[in-house]
Structure 1
């Protein structure tokens, strides 16, 4: 299927690793020019090289402090200077986590700064370039925890619920501009950082944190949140639906909150 991305321009925040990099690579394979944004320049440079190798005609890694409005504005100004218009913005940034009793006011501020305001600031900075394009799409990232609560990630979930609401609202206000706006809610996804952070914890239970079936076994045992497919997901499975939503081929899906969680009780 031709997604209409050949020669298109796209920004993926959080695009130097994990789901963000998988999305950026899929966009590159479809022929899009891709800018990835994150904090550390080294991984960004490596990501840009991999995107060129995947087929992108142009790729760049831009170091951004997603807690800083001026840094975000400067990054999108660089994109505008390089390409002029922007077809797709995919915003994948998320905060850390913690239990309610352990969260200070500063922790809550940080969670909403990364989980909500980084999205607000990125979309605001990108809108002039998106409006310059013949077609434009915005995809934000929440999490299925906004529907399936987990006490361990209370501030993370609250910040993502706020971003989901903003996304729905923007789908209405930007419809007149022909800009389609959607939100993807991943379930448990086995990224390299997930495996690295939890490998010892799962190993204590005789499980492999890189194995999607073992990961879902651990999730079910500890949080009682199984999925119908019986396994965790992979970054590439998030990338495929996200790339469609961010593409010209998507001509009629807007205002949607799309669960990609292997099957749950929520719609």
Structure 2
């Protein structure tokens, strides 16, 4: 299916690894011009070379700490300079890595979870909106998490941050509808991200095996999917690419589960 992404201008925040990278790859595969914002220049160099091979020859990598508003604004100002002040697609794939029960977390850890997991998205949308409004068509796709619907005691700060992403995105889908800027959320379930694989290895499980990974998730968190394995980042990327594309022309305010089957909420 042609998603209508040829020469579209797309930014993936947190696109240097995991599901963000898989999303950037899918956009490049369909001919989009892709920029990636991340903290590590080394990771950016690797992903930009990969995106160029895939079909985005002028792929751009920008280093920015998305918890710093000034750095976010500078990154989008640089994109405006390079791309003529227009942007079609913004994907926010950054997530916090804060684990612990309610009584275990201090204020700094809560601030980190909200700052990375939610406020980073707010800053990036705010900086991108003037560019999105200049384009003939525009889409925003934000990453939430299925754990906002299936809570785990050790993910209280993480799910709080992701719940804020979902709520703000729903509000944006309403407020930006007159501009025909479509805003949707993807909620991955147990996907073999670097963080989840690393956790599995820390408890003696081969996290590179998606079946063993799901067994560990079931044992430790009690959150099995209907499918007997964990998901893979490359299974999330195509969903993001569709939501970000011109093919998606009437879907906004949706929260799309990519979770191996849990429920329909």
Match of 1:121 in 2: 123
The aligned residue for residue 176 of structure 1 is 178
User: C-alpha distance in 1, partners of 2:255/2:36?
Assistant: 23
C-alpha distance in structure 2 between counterparts of 1:147 and 1:186, whole Å: 11
Task: Please tell me whether the aligned partners of residues 147 and 266 of structure 1 are also in contact (alpha carbons under 8 angstroms).
Answer: no
In the other structure, the counterpart of 1:95 is 96
Counterparts of 2:190 and 2:200 in 1: how far apart (Å)?
A: 13
Larger deviation, residues 40-49 vs 185-194: 185-194
1:162-203 alpha-carbon deviations (Å, 9 max, x no partner): 1100000000000100100001000011134432343131x3
TM-score, length-normalised on structure 1? 0.96
Q: What root-mean-square deviation, in Å, do the aligned CA atoms of Structure 1 and Structure 2 show?
A: 1.1
Quote the Cα distance in structure 2 between the aligned partners of 1:63 and 1:209: 29
Runs of 4+ in 1 over 4 A off after TM superposition: none
Partner of 1:26: 26
Secondary structure at 1:93 match in 2:
coil
Q: d(CA) in 1 for partners of 2:198 and 2:220?
A: 18
Partners of 1:212 and 1:134 lie apart in 2 by 41
Q: 1:52-75 deviations in whole A, cap 9, x for unaligned?
A: 011113201100111100000111
| Cα distance in 1, alignment partners of residues 196 and 36 from structure 2 | 20
Listed as ranges, the matches of 1:127-206 within 5 Å are 127-201=129-203, 203=204
> 2: distance between equivalents of 1:237 and 1:151?
27
Residue 78 of structure 2 corresponds to: 78
CA–CA distance in structure 2, aligned partners of residues 13 and 266 of structure 1: 28
Aligned residues: 263
